[in-house]
Structure 1
Amino acid sequence: MRIIDITPDSGALGRNLLAMQHAAYAIEAKIIEDNRIPPLHESLEGLCAERLTWLGAFDEDRLVGAVAWSETAQVVDIDRLVVDPGVHRRGIGGALVKEVMARAGDRQIVVSTGRANLPARTLYERLGFGEVEDVEVIPGLWITSYAHSA
C-alpha cells in the first residue's frame, strides 16, 4: 500500500473517491442507525468544492482509502476518513491517520465520529486520541469528539 497526496476532481479519481465515501458512510449509517451523515449524500461537485487536504491509500492503482483534513497553525481537524468496505480491518484507516499525525507536527489533532461507531472510536483511542465530548449535532444524531496532542 502506498499513501500519497491526492486532489479530488471530476474525473475517475473523484468518482472513485465519491463511490468509496458513499460506501464507507453507508456502513457507518448502519452502525449508528442514522443515515443523516452529510458525506453520505455529498455530490461529486460538493466533494471537489471542499477546501480540504487529502491523502489517498492505493493498493497498486486502486484507491482503497482516503483521509481529508483542514488545518490552522494550531490544529489539524480530520474531516473524514473512508476505507473501501471490501478491505476493512487491514490497517488502512490506521495508516492514513498515522500519516496525518506525522504531518501535524506539534499541532493538536481533532476528529469526530458517530457516538455509536465503535470501530472508529476504537481506532482513534488505540492511536492515542482522548475523548473530549459527545454532542447532539442535530436532533437524535450524536457524535463523539476526540483530540490528540503531540
Structure 2
Amino acid sequence: MHLTSITPDQRLLDLQHAAYAIEAGIIGDDRIPPLHEDLTALRNAPLSWLGAFDDEGTLTGAVAWEETAHLVDINRLVVDPGALRQGIGRTLVKEVLARAGGRKVIVSTGRDNTPARTLYERLGFTNTGDAEVIPGLWITSYEL
C-alpha cells in the first residue's frame, strides 16, 4: 500500500458512497450526508485528501481533514468494503496524526459504528461525548 495526496474524482466519490453505505447499514440510518454527496459538492468541500492505493494502483481507502494552526479535524475516513480489516483505515489515520505535529485532532463517527469507534479508541482517542445531530441520528466525538 502506498499513500499519496489526491484530488476528489469519480472513483473517490464511488468509494465514499460504498463506504458510507456500510456505515449506514451498521448504524441503521442512511442520513449520513457524505452518502448522498455528488461530485461537485465533494470537489467543493474544503478538505485535504490522502488516498491509499494497492500495488495495482487501485484506490482502497481515503481520509480527509480540515486544519488550523491548533486543530486537525478528520472529516472523513473511507475504506473500500472489499478491503476492510486490512489496516487501511488505521494507516490513513496514523498518517494524519503524524502530519498533525502535536496539534489536537478531533473526529466523529456514528455512535453505533463499533468498528470505527474501536479504531479510534485503539489509536488513543478519548471519547468526548455523543450528540444527536438530527432527530434520531447520533454521533460520538473523539479527540487526541
The two structures have a TM-score, normalised by structure 1, of: 0.95
Q: How many residue pairs are counted as aligned between the two chains?
A: 143
- Work out the CA distance in 2 between the residues paired with 1:133 and 1:75: 18
1:54 aligns with 2:49: yes
1:141 is displaced (CA, Å) by 0.3
Unaligned runs of 5+ in 1: 9-13
Which residue in the other structure is 2:22 paired with? 27
Cα distance in 2 for partners of 1:6, 1:86 equals 21
Rounded to whole Å, the distance in 2 between the matches of 1:44 and 1:88 is 24
Query: 1:76 is matched with which residue: 58, 72, 76?
Result: 72
Shift of 1:110: 0.1
1:38 aligns with 2:33: yes
User: Matches of 1:57 and 1:26 in 2, distance apart?
Assistant: 19
Q: Report the RMSD for the aligned CA atoms in angstroms.
A: 0.4
Specify the alignment match of 1:130 in structure 2.
Answer: 126
What's the % identity of the aligned pairs?
A: 67
Shift of 1:7: 1.4
Q: Which runs of 4+ in 1 moved over 4 A?
A: none
Matched to 2:50, the amino acid is: L
2:96 partner SS: helix
1:64 aligned counterpart, secondary structure? strand
What TM-score does the superposition give when structure 2 sets the normalisation length?
A: 0.98
CA distance in 2, matches of 1:116, 1:58: 28
Residue equivalent to 1:11 = none
Deviation at 1:33, TM superposition (A): 0.2
Amino acid aligned to 2:26: I
Q: What is the letter of the counterpart of residue 56 of structure 1?
A: G
> What's the CA shift for 1:74?
0.6
Separation (CA, whole Å) in 2 of partners of 1:106 and 1:23: 32
* Residue aligning to 2:102: 106
